[in-house]
């Protein structure tokens, strides 16, 4: 019999909704400090002083990434290293590893804020969702604290440092060291900063924890623990459904030390899941006598999770496998600065693919990302670190691990533990500490911190040194053993580890460039080409990894494999494997979607397997191959149907049916011997009865003639930060898309709104994202438009030489 740690958790999860300014019965104000910050790069002596003259500094809004504007430069953070994660043994020059953007150095942010003088005994907190990095914070010339890790949540009690009724100065100094990251980390106050003013008798920051010891279809028992400051207090917690109707309430007078412990019942609960992301709201009111002292609002979802041998992962009593992707924190042309519209666009694209889970790689997620996952229905694997005590890069987190790791984990868990989307914690990714007894001790120590702070969720680590973790006991002690790649070791790990299941914590690392196809079409690892692109036939991967189909086999055939998180959902800045040591190449090729958020062909391969609600039929490659007439040009079809027939200029090229002769034949339909001739390529898919169910065709396009604009949203909010993403493409005179068009286009915007950035998805492009023009890549690019605070209609105009220009109107309300 296996010795197994069974992990089962039933919980309700909560999230504090942060508005621009929320006032609860005059007891608490919470303000996002977003506007009128003064910013300057470089060391600025005396900038922390209250009377410092910042009139000549740049005015910016926060969140802000000061490095994303560029320029791209191969000399920035050039590293001569051997990347052990890439199986390299000899150091080589890496020029694009951290995105070739100027994130290194010091920077200052200054602003002023007023604390109301309406009542006595106020408590004032300053809360940061993240600051990149090594933040030093000053109030009115006095340092109130520091925080090293750029991804961590942190806050300071600044009550003694502020003057009520007057303007107070806030200064933040940030320092980014060279060789401190393996990808583009961003720079600046890239996440939100919050000012909280409340009574000294109040609910502690991140002091509410909600779990459900019992969940059935008829009843949910809800446990609410609330930590507070003060004496002689009572607590009223009221639950509301998603329509605002009162569900139940509980009043407590007796506390355990400085914590109230309440139990409430919800009859016939709506359970949270990716398919039904139902959210309740809890209102928690703290009284002293009849005087309301503090109140918080919390959105939450009711759901049950369990991880057990035999049944694997279960959500609300139903076994399911994670259909997940890994995401880095940058938003392509926006850099790392958090933007809700951009995050939501990413998630909606993934939702249509059938994705149901996200892994934050390899860092702590933003509150906004978690809130969206709660609302849209994504399970979440929240990761903490990429390094422990042993280094991957010279100035990485290992410098702070011994002093900061516990604090950073505690803050992560307390700030985010109540989100229904989070179903697992990750203590680390591919840490060199996987070797030896000291690494086992660190893994145990970190896991116990997670358990202490949140006993309801399991802990994993993304392990790439699987043989070492089998020998040392590292993998055996984890709640969930996570394997990064190493598909050939899944069986051995399953037998060696006692948990009774394996998670594909990182899978595939297949590489491709959107709309680029290379010949001959053969399986290859670390394949490189003179144009520094990768083939979109999805037959190329890295030396440590494999093709998507290999993971599909494990997911489908092994009941003890509980799901996968694909590397990656979107391309990201930095890590341009397999061109780490080539210039210019400054962003990844791993993405299922490119850096602009445009789906690659591989998107439809995953969609054909993951999306059970809507059928998939996708044909590749494009059919503009002048000069390849008569040459073999394989055709692939990614489809949820089991068979299809291919036609070229009306002539049938035969029917293909999925079969088990190879992983690729099991999940793809492939005609390997097609000879190219211009015209019309068409595929007809057949359902299980043999009837034609769907078709798709591609037509050889003529010369580029007209620009086409398509917006993801034609109406946005006039809040100064909402976005519309406009896909720009080119068609011929007959309206056929031109897949190889690479014309230079110019952008202009009139009316209440502004042109923010553009991206074409080309990993080798060195044009700054905020430039007013850019070349098409494989016939497309994306333009980002931002609203102002003035309602009205903004007009985007796009023009190019020898092309019929086009315009599009976006309304903001």
Please list the active-site residues. 430, 506
CB 124 within 8 A of CB 179: no
DSSP-derived secondary structure for 230-282: -SS-EEEEEEE-TTS-EEEEEEE---BTTEEEEEEEEES--B--SS----EEE
* Sequence-separated (6 or more) residues with CB below 8 Å from residue 452: none
Q: Is the N-terminal amide bond of 520 cis, ω within 30° of 0?
A: yes
* Sequence-separated (6 or more) residues with CB below 8 Å from residue 690: none
Task: State the greatest distance between any 2 C-alpha atoms of the chain, in Å, as a whole number.
Answer: 88
Element (H, E) at 502: strand 502-508
Distance, in Å, from the CA atom of 745 to the CA atom of 799, rounded to the nearest integer, reads 6
What is the per-residue burial (b if ≥16 Cβ within 10 Å, else e) of 346-372? bbebbebbbbbbbbbbbbbbbbbbbbb
Distance, in Å, from the CA atom of 210 to the CA atom of 225, rounded to the nearest integer, reads 6
What Å distances lie between residue 342 and 33, 329, 624, CA to CA? 20, 11, 32
Q: Is 25 exposed, middle or buried (0-12, 13-18, 19+ CB in 10 A)?
A: exposed
3-state secondary structure of 389: coil
**Length reported for the chain:** 813
Q: At what angle do helices 340-353 and 601-610 cross, to 10 degrees?
A: 60
| Beta bridge partner(s), residue 711 | 726
CB 549 within 8 A of CB 811: no
3-state secondary structure of 624: coil
Distance, in Å, from the CA atom of 285 to the CA atom of 26, rounded to the nearest integer, reads 12
Element (H, E) at 407: helix 401-416
Nearest to 291 by CA among 115, 164, 119, 117: 119
CB 172 within 8 A of CB 126: no
Q: Spell out the SS3 assignment of 665-713.
A: HHHCEEECCCECCCCEEEEEEECCCCCEEEEEEEECCCCCCEEEEEECC
CB 261 within 8 A of CB 225: yes
* Sequence-separated (6 or more) residues with CB below 8 Å from residue 520: 632
| Beta bridge partner(s), residue 638 | 618
Distance, in Å, from the CA atom of 797 to the CA atom of 790, rounded to the nearest integer, reads 20
Helix ranges (DSSP H) in 611-747: 663-667
Extract long-range pairs of 161-166: CB within 8 Å, 24+ residues apart: 162/115, 162/124, 163/115, 164/115, 164/116, 164/117, 164/122, 165/114, 165/115, 165/116, 165/117, 166/114, 166/115
Nearest to 308 by CA among 120, 501, 445: 501
Nearest to 168 by CA among 126, 228, 120, 225: 126
Q: Is the N-terminal amide bond of 166 cis, ω within 30° of 0?
A: no
- Cα angle, residue 251 at apex, residues 247 and 256 outer, rounded to 5°: 130
Would you tell me how many other CB atoms lie within 10 Å of the CB of residue 26?
A: 10
Tokens 């933003």 correspond to 366
Two tokens, residue 126? 């300053």
What Å distances lie between residue 212 and 89, 266, 301, 559, CA to CA? 50, 10, 10, 28
């Amino acid at each position: 019999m296996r010795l197994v740690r069974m992990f089962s958790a039933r919980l309700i999860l909560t999230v504090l909704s942060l508005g621009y300014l929320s006032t609860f019965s005059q007891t608490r104000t919470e303000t996002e400090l977003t506007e009128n910050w003064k910013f300057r790069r470089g060391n600025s002596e005396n900038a922390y002083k209250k009377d410092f003259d910042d009139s000549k500094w740049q005015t910016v809004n926060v969140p802000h990434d000061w490095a994303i504007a560029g320029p791209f430069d191969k000399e920035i953070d050039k590293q001569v290293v051997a990347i052990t994660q890439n199986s390299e043994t000899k150091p080589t020059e890496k020029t694009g590893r951290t995105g070739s953007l100027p994130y290194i150095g010091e920077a200052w942010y200054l602003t002023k804020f007023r604390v109301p003088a309406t009542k006595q005994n106020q408590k004032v907190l300053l809360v940061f969702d993240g600051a990149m990095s090594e933040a030093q914070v000053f109030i009115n010339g006095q340092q109130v604290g520091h925080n090293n890790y750029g991804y961590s949540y942190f806050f300071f009690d600044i009550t003694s440092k502020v003057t009520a009724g007057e303007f107070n100065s806030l200064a933040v100094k940030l320092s980014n060291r060279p060789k401190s990251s393996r990808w583009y980390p961003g720079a600046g106050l890239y996440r939100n900063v919050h000012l909280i003013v409340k009574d000294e008798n109040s609910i502690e920051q991140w002091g509410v924890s909600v779990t459900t010891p019992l969940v059935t279809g008829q009843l949910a028992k809800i446990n609410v623990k609330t930590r507070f400051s003060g004496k002689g207090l009572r607590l009223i917690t009221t639950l509301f459904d998603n329509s605002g109707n009162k569900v139940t309430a509980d009043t407590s007078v007796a506390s355990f030390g400085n914590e109230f412990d309440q139990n409430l019942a919800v009859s016939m609960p709506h359970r949270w899941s990716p398919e039904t992301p139902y959210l309740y709201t809890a209102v928690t009111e703290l009284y002293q006598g009849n005087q309301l002292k503090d109140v918080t609002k919390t959105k939450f979802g009711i759901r049950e999770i369990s991880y057990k041998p035999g049944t694997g992962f279960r959500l609300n009593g139903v076994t399911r496998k994670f259909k997940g992707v890994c995401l880095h924190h940058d938003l392509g042309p926006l850099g790392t600065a958090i933007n809700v519209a951009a995050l939501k666009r990413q998630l909606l694209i993934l939702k249509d693919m059938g994705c149901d889970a996200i892994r934050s790689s390899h860092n702590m997620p933003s509150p906004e990302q978690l809130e969206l996952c709660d609302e849209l229905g994504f399970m979440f694997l929240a990761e903490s670190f990429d390094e422990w005590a042993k280094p991957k890069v010279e100035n990485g987190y290992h410098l702070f691990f011994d002093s900061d790791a516990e604090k950073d984990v505690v803050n992560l868990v307390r700030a985010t533990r109540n989100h229904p989307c989070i179903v697992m914690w990750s203590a680390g990714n591919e840490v060199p500490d996987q070797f030896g007894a000291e690494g086992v001790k660190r893994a145990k120590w970190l896991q116990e911190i997670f358990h202490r702070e949140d006993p309801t969720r399991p802990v994993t680590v993304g392990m790439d040194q699987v043989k070492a973790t089998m020998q040392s006991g590292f993998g055996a002690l984890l709640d969930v053993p996570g394997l990064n790649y190493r598909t050939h070791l899944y069986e051995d790990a399953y037998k060696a580890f006692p948990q009774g299941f394996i998670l594909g914590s990182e899978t595939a690392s297949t590489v491709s460039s959107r709309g680029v196809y290379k010949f001959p079409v053969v399986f290859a690892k670390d394949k490189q080409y003179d144009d520094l692109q990768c083939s979109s036939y999805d037959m190329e991967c890295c030396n440590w990894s494999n093709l998507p189909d290999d993971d599909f086999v494990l997911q489908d055939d092994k009941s003890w494999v509980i799901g996968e998180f694909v590397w990656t959902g979107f391309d990201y800045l930095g890590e341009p494997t397999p061109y780490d040591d080539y210039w210019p190449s400054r962003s990844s090729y791993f993405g299922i979607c490119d850096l602009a958020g445009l789906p690659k062909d591989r998107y439809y391969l995953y969609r054909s397997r993951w999306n059970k609600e809507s059928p998939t039929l996708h044909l590749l490659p494009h059919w503009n191959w002048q000069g390849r007439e008569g040459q073999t040009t394989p055709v692939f079809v990614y489809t949820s149907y089991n068979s299809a027939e291919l036609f070229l200029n009306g002539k049938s090229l035969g029917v293909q049916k999925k079969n088990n002769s190879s992983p690729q034949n099991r999940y793809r339909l492939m005609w390997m011997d097609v000879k190219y001739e211009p015209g019309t390529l068409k595929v007809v898919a057949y359902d299980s009865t043999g009837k034609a169910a769907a078709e798709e065709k591609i037509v050889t396009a003529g010369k580029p003639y007209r620009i086409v604009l398509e917006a993801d949203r034609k109406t946005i909010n006039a809040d100064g930060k909402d976005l519309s993403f406009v896909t720009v493409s080119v068609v011929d005179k007959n309206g056929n898309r031109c897949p190889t068009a690479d014309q230079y286009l110019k952008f202009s915007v009139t009316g209440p709104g502004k042109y923010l950035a553009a991206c074409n998805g080309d990993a080798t492009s060195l044009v700054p994202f905020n430039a007013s023009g850019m070349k098409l890549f494989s016939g497309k690019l994306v333009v980002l438009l931002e609203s102002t605070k003035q309602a009205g209609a903004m007009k985007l105009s796009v023009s190019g030489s020898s092309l019929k220009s086009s315009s599009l109107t976006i309304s903001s309300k």
